[in-house]
Amino acid sequence: MQLQEVLFRQGFGTRRVCAGLIQQGRVQVWPDAEAIQPAVVTDSTLEVTAPGLRFTVQGVPWEYHELAYLMLNKPAGTECSQKPSTYPSIYSLLPAPLRHRPQKGPVQGVQAVGRLDQDTTGLLLMTDDGKFIHRLSSPRHHVPKVYEVTTKHPVDARQVQKLLDGVVLEDDPKPVRAAACEAVDTLHLRLTLTEGKYHQVKRMLAAVGNRVEGLHRSQIGTLTLPHDLAPGQWRWLSAQELAGVGYAPA
Ligand code: URA
């Protein structure tokens, strides 16, 4: 693939802008996996092996990914919307190329896989692979999601049992149940859900007479939020981590 096409596909601008960045000496490329230093390339049509290619654009290091799969540690006070109403958007936490990747399938730029409320923190997956979004959002696939819940009132064994047995939410007669639920201490619950209905945790806790004071998603499938990923930070997912949420890219 030509170097200008690599930049274009990674979201660095139109093909013309990408060719210009290279011709102006703003792009450096690591010639191979062993190379320590990248070197300036000014030939925008240089043929390169795109998968795994490492390069810098205006000093910012980047790695070629055909499709983007990443995790974000969502901070409190952010909205999972491209057009937020009250709080800053999670998309403002991502570098511009991730938001501007050209459309390959139905998805333009990376998108959140499902949504978390503005006050919910923790593990959020993002991608531009429409199949991945569909797969993880589909109720048929039952990917378990683990939530750490801080409650307003002390949790008792009766509440835990009700959450496991199933509770009825106001707009749906079919009960929803937790796949797992344990009281961590008096005011903390660990709840595993395999569906993702609107405000599900908050509504389930309300249905058993308690109230959510804090909500943090710590795990999706076998993928746990790494301790060294600070709130607001993102990183690429490895193939192994993708497998941990039950997905193998085509
Ligand atoms: N359940 C909720 O109530 N809120 C979230 O953000 C996620 C699950």
Q: What is the DSSP annotation of 39-98? A: EE---TT-B---TT-EEEETTEEEE--SS-EEEEEEPSS-BSSSS-SSS-BGGGGS-HHH
Cα of 203 to ligand 1 centre, how many Å?
Answer: 9
Q: Which pLDDT belongs to residue 45?
A: 97
Q: Do 129 and 84 lie in a common domain? A: yes
Q: Which pLDDT belongs to residue 170?
A: 83
Q: Which pLDDT belongs to residue 137?
A: 85
Q: Which atom of ligand 1 is nearest to the CA of 202?
A: 3
Q: Do 10 and 52 lie in a common domain? A: yes
Q: Do 135 and 29 lie in a common domain? A: no
Residue 165 lies in a domain: yes
Cα of 118 to ligand 1 centre, how many Å?
Answer: 9
Q: What is the pLDDT along the chain (250 residues), one digit of tens a residue?
A: 999 999 999 999 999 999 999 999 999 999 887 889 999 999 999 999 999 899 999 999 999 999 999 999 999 999 999 999 999 999 999 999 999 998 776 667 999 999 999 999 999 999 999 899 988 888 778 899 999 999 999 999 999 999 999 999 987 888 999 999 999 999 999 999 998 889 999 999 999 999 999 999 999 999 999 999 999 999 999 999 999 898 888 7
Minimal CA–CA distance to 181: which of 203, 165, 202?
Answer: 165
Cα of 120 to ligand 1 centre, how many Å?
Answer: 7
Residue 81 lies in a domain: yes
Residue 249 lies in a domain: no
Catalytic residue among 117, 172, 185, 228: 117
Q: Do 79 and 199 lie in a common domain? A: no
Q: Do 200 and 227 lie in a common domain? A: no
> 199 CB less than 6 Å from ligand 1?
yes
Instruction: Give yes or no: 171 in active site.
Output: no
Cα of 216 to ligand 1 centre, how many Å?
Answer: 9
Going by alpha carbons, the residue nearest to atom 2 of ligand 1 is 199
Q: DSSP E strands: which ranges in 75-202?
A: 111-112, 121-127, 145-151, 167-169, 172-176, 180-185, 188-193
Q: Do 132 and 155 lie in a common domain? A: no
Residue 250 lies in a domain: no
Going by alpha carbons, the residue nearest to atom 3 of ligand 1 is 199
Is the pTM higher than 0.95? The answer reads: no
Block residue for tokens 């799969």:
69
Q: Do 232 and 126 lie in a common domain? A: yes
Structural domain including 228 reads 69-139+223-244
Q: Which pLDDT belongs to residue 107?
A: 66
Q: The domain spanning residue 18 has which CATH number?
A: 3.10.290.10
> 119 CB less than 6 Å from ligand 1?
no
Going by alpha carbons, the residue nearest to atom 7 of ligand 1 is 116
Residue 126 lies in a domain: yes
102 burial via Cβ count (<10 Å: 0-12, 13-18, 19+): middle
Q: Which atom of ligand 1 is nearest to the CA of 145?
A: 8
Q: Do 126 and 234 lie in a common domain? A: yes
Q: The domain spanning residue 134 has which CATH number?
A: 3.30.70.580
> 117 CB less than 6 Å from ligand 1?
yes
Cα of 121 to ligand 1 centre, how many Å?
Answer: 10
* Total domains, the chain: 3
